[in-house]
Amino acid sequence: MFNCLFHVIAVSLLVPGAGALADDSPAPDDEIPVVGRPVDLPFSGASGSFEIEARAEPTTIRAEDPIRYTLVIRATAAVRHPPERPALAKLKEFAEAFYVEDAEEPERNPDKQTVEFNYRLKPRRSDVSEIPSVPFVYFNPTIRHATKAFQIRFTDPIPLKVESSDRFAPVPALPEAFYHLATGNGLFEQDRPFRAPSPGSLVLVTIFPVAICAGWYGAWRQLYPTAVRRSRRRQSAAALHALKLLRAASQLSMREQAEQAAAALTRYLHVRFALAAADPTPAEVAESMRRLGVSSRLVVMAARFYAVCDAARYGRSLNRDALADAGARVIIEVEAAAWASQRS
Amino acid sequence: MGFAAILILAALHADDLELSRLSSVEIKDRAEAAFESGVHHRDDPEIARREFRKAVTCFEELRRRGARNALLFRNLGNAYFLAGDLPYAILSYRRGLRLSPGDVDLMEGLDLARERVSYPEGSRLGRPGPAGHASWLARIGGEWLIGGAIFLYFTACVGFTRWLMTRRIVLLMLALLSVLGAGVLTLFAVREASKQASGPIVVIAEDSVLLRRGDSLSYPARYETPLNRGVEGRVLARRGNWLQIELSGGEVGWVMTDYALVDDEQNEES
C-alpha cells in the first residue's frame, strides 16, 4: 500500500512533469537496469535520490528486551521507484545479534518525502554493543553510467547498552522468613569453625574420667568395705585391742594380770573365731579352735596360755612379762595364720 | 568522561570512608534500615536491589571488622540473594554453615539458592550431592560429636567402675557399648574435622566457565559442558591466577580466579 502511495506522492510531487507516471505505468526511462547492481548487498528497489538515517529507542536495555528501530528514508530528488522495506533479518550482522520482528506499525509517512520503516529488535546476548549500520542500495537515474548509478548509503551504527537482566529481573520471591533479618548483638560475635581437639587435650580427656573413677572406687572401698574386708578390719582391731590390754595388765597384781590377760585373749578369740563361751576353760578353747580348723600348734599355744593363766590365778608365781609375751605370741600367730590363708 | 569516572569513584570511596567512621552498632542499624527499605521496594527491582546492595556493603563491613557468626552470614546471604548476586549468596551461606553446620535457616537459604543455579540439562557436572544436602554428620557438628564421644566415654568409665563395685553384668555391657559408641563418634568427628580442613570453598562467579585441563587458556576444556554461576567446589591448588578445583562429583579442572569466588577465610583460620 505504502509503495503505491509513496510512488504516487513521490512521482506527482517530486518529479516535474511526472503526471504521465501517475497511472502506475513506468516510463521506459524508469526501468532499473540489472547491470551494475551490487551483488553482496540487497537492492531496495528504489530509484531516485535518497538519504537514510536510523533511530532506536531505547538504547539501554536488557537482553531480549525489544528496541523500536526505525529506518528513515528521505527522498532528496524525484522518486521514480519508492524503496521496499529493507529485510534486516537477511543482514548477517543483524541476524547474529538480534531477533528481528515487525513492529505494530511497520511503515508510516511523516511527510510526503519521507517514509519510516519500523522494526522490533531484541538483542540475543548481553554483549551486543551496537545496532549495526544498514546498507541502503538505490538506483539514481540521474547518473548516466549504469554501473555508477547504483548508490549505497549506510546508516550510522547506534551504540547500545544491553545490561544484565539481573538489574531488571524481579527480586526473587523467597519465603517470608528471608525478608526478616537476624538482629541483636549476636551479629558481632566471632565464632570459629570446628577443629579436632589437640593430642594433649585428648590425653587429658581420656585420663580425667579414669582418674575420677579410680578415686571414686578408692573412696567407695573406704566408705563401703566388703563384708570380708570389714571383718578383717574388725579382727585386726580386736588383735590390737587385746595386745594393748595384755601390756596394760603387766602393771597389775599377778592374779589380776592373769584374769585380765585371759579375758583379753578370750575377747580376741571370740571376735576371730566366734568363740561361744564367755569364760572358757583351756579344754573348751582348744575344742572350739580345733572345730574351726585352726592348726594344732596354735591350739596348743592357746591352751598352754590359758593353763598358765589358771596357775597364776591360783597362786603360782610367774614372770610378769612371760604371761604378756605368751598372750601376745598367740595373737600374733593367729593373725599371721589368718593373713597367710587369705593370701593363698 | 574521565572526570565523571573520577567523581563516581570518589563517591564510592567516600561511602567506604563513611562506613569506616561508624561504630559497628551504627553499621548494623544502617544495614537493617537498607534491608528494610529493599523489602519495602520489593516491587521496584532496581531500587530494591540498590537497597539490598547497601545492606550487603554494611554487613561486609562488619565481617571486615572480624564478626564471624551464623547470624551475620545468614543476613549476608539473604541480602546477596535478594540483590541478585547468587554466587556470593551461596558463598555466604556456606561460610555460615561452616560455623554452624546445623543451622536450619542457612540450609534453607542454600537450598533455595542452589535451586536457582542453572545446571546444564542432562549433566551432573557441578551438582551438589544426591539431594544437595549436607550429611547428617555435618548437620550435627563436630563439637556435638566430640561432646557425645566424651559423654559416652565418661559413661563407660562410670559403668565399669560400678561393675567393679557390684559385679553386675549389665553394667559391664553398658560400659563396653559406651566405649564403642565413643570410638565411633570420635572417628566421625575426626572425619568432619579433616573435611573442614580440606581446600577452601569455591563458587563459580560467571556463566559459561569452562573447566580446563591446565592453568592456561591454551589448555582444552576438560568437559564440554560449561559451569554456570553458583556451581560449588573446593580449591585443590593455586597457580598464578588459576585455581585447580574439585566439584562435588569429583571432577577436577582449572578455572581462572576472575571467574571464581574463594572462601579465603578458611585459609586464614587454618
The answer to whether B45 contacts A206, with C-beta atoms less than 8 Å apart, is: no
A247 contact partners, CB below 8 Å, separation of at least 6: A324
User: What's the CA gap between A155 and A91, in Å, rounded?
Assistant: 13
CATH fourth-level superfamily of B2-115:
Tetratricopeptide repeat domain (1.25.40.10)
**How confident is the model at residue A101, as a pLDDT?**
76
Domain boundaries, chain A: 2-165, 227-343
Contact A326, A304 (CB under 8 A): yes
The answer to whether A195 contacts B142, with C-beta atoms less than 8 Å apart, is: yes
Tell me what percent of the residues of chain A surpass a pLDDT of 90: 13
Q: Which of A87-91, A167-171, A340-344 has the highest mean pLDDT?
A: A87-91
Q: Which residues on neighbouring strands pair with residue A138, listed in sequence order? A: A46, A151
Domain boundaries, chain B: 2-115, 139-196, 201-269
**How confident is the model at residue B121, as a pLDDT?**
67
**How confident is the model at residue B86, as a pLDDT?**
92
Question: 3-state class of B97 per DSSP?
Answer: helix
pLDDT one-digit tens code per residue, A177-202: 888 888 888 888 888 877 777 888 88
Q: Is the dihedral of CA A94, A96, A98, A104 positive or negative?
A: positive
Q: Which of A285, A290, A335 is nearest to A305 (CA)?
A: A285
3-state DSSP helix/strand/coil % of chain B, to nearest 5: 60, 10, 30
pLDDT one-digit tens code per residue, A230-280: 666 666 788 888 888 888 887 788 888 888 888 888 888 877 776 665 666
Q: What residue type is assigned to position B188 of the chain?
A: F
Cell of A240: 590390737
**How confident is the model at residue A221, as a pLDDT?**
77
> Does B168 contact A at CB distance below 8 Å?
no
The model's pTM is 0.52
The answer to whether B194 contacts A194, with C-beta atoms less than 8 Å apart, is: no
**How confident is the model at residue A6, as a pLDDT?**
42
The answer to whether B161 contacts A188, with C-beta atoms less than 8 Å apart, is: no
Question: 3-state class of B207 per DSSP?
Answer: coil
Q: Which of B142, B143, B155 is nearest to B181 (CA)?
A: B155
Of A167, A168, A186, the CB nearest to B71: A186
Mean pLDDT calculated for residue range A67-79: 90
Q: Is the dihedral of CA A241, A242, A246, A249 positive or negative?
A: positive
Fold of B201-269: SH3 type barrels. (2.30.30)
Contact B137, B191 (CB under 8 A): yes
Q: DSSP per residue over A196-226, as a string? A: PPPHHHHHHHHHHHHHHHHHHHHHHHHHS--
- Beta strands A158-159 and A130-131 are antiparallel
Mean pLDDT calculated for residue range A328-340: 80
The answer to whether B49 contacts A167, with C-beta atoms less than 8 Å apart, is: yes
User: What's the CA gap between A79 and A259, in Å, rounded?
Assistant: 162
> How many interchain CB pairs under 8 A, A with B?
123
Q: Which positions in chain A touch B154 (Cβ < 8 Å)?
A: 209
CA distance readout (Å), A110 to A26, A45, A107, B81: 25, 21, 10, 48
Asked if residue A20 has pLDDT above 50, the reply is no
What length does chain B have?
Answer: 270
User: What's the CA gap between A157 and A132, in Å, rounded?
Assistant: 5
**How confident is the model at residue B12, as a pLDDT?**
47
List chain B residues with pLDDT less than 70. Answer: 1-17, 121-122, 129-139, 196-197, 266-270
Q: Which of A80, A76, A5 is nearest to A47 (CA)?
A: A80
Greater confidence (B44 vs A173) lies with B44
Q: Which positions in chain A touch B165 (Cβ < 8 Å)?
A: 217, 220
**How confident is the model at residue B109, as a pLDDT?**
92
**How confident is the model at residue A4, as a pLDDT?**
41
Specify the DSSP element, H or E, that contains B12. helix B2-21
Q: Which residues of A touch B (CB under 8 A)?
A: 166-172, 174-175, 177-179, 181-184, 186-197, 205-206, 209-210, 212-213, 216-217, 220
Q: Which positions in chain A touch B70 (Cβ < 8 Å)?
A: 191
Residue of A60, A167, A185, A191 to mutate, interface with B, max B Cβ within 10 Å: A191
| Residues of B (46-105) whose Cβ lies below 8 Å from A | 46, 48-49, 52, 62, 66-72, 74-75, 78, 81-82, 84, 98-101, 105
Contact A330, A298 (CB under 8 A): yes
**How confident is the model at residue A288, as a pLDDT?**
76
**How confident is the model at residue B131, as a pLDDT?**
44
Asked if residue A23 has pLDDT above 60, the reply is no
Q: What residue type is assigned to position A274 of the chain?
A: A
Mean pLDDT calculated for residue range A126-150: 85
Mean pLDDT calculated for residue range A54-64: 80
Q: How confident is the model at residue A1 (pLDDT cuts 50, 70, 90)?
A: very low
Mean pLDDT of chain A: 78
Q: What are the helix and strand counts (H, E) for chain B?
A: 10, 5
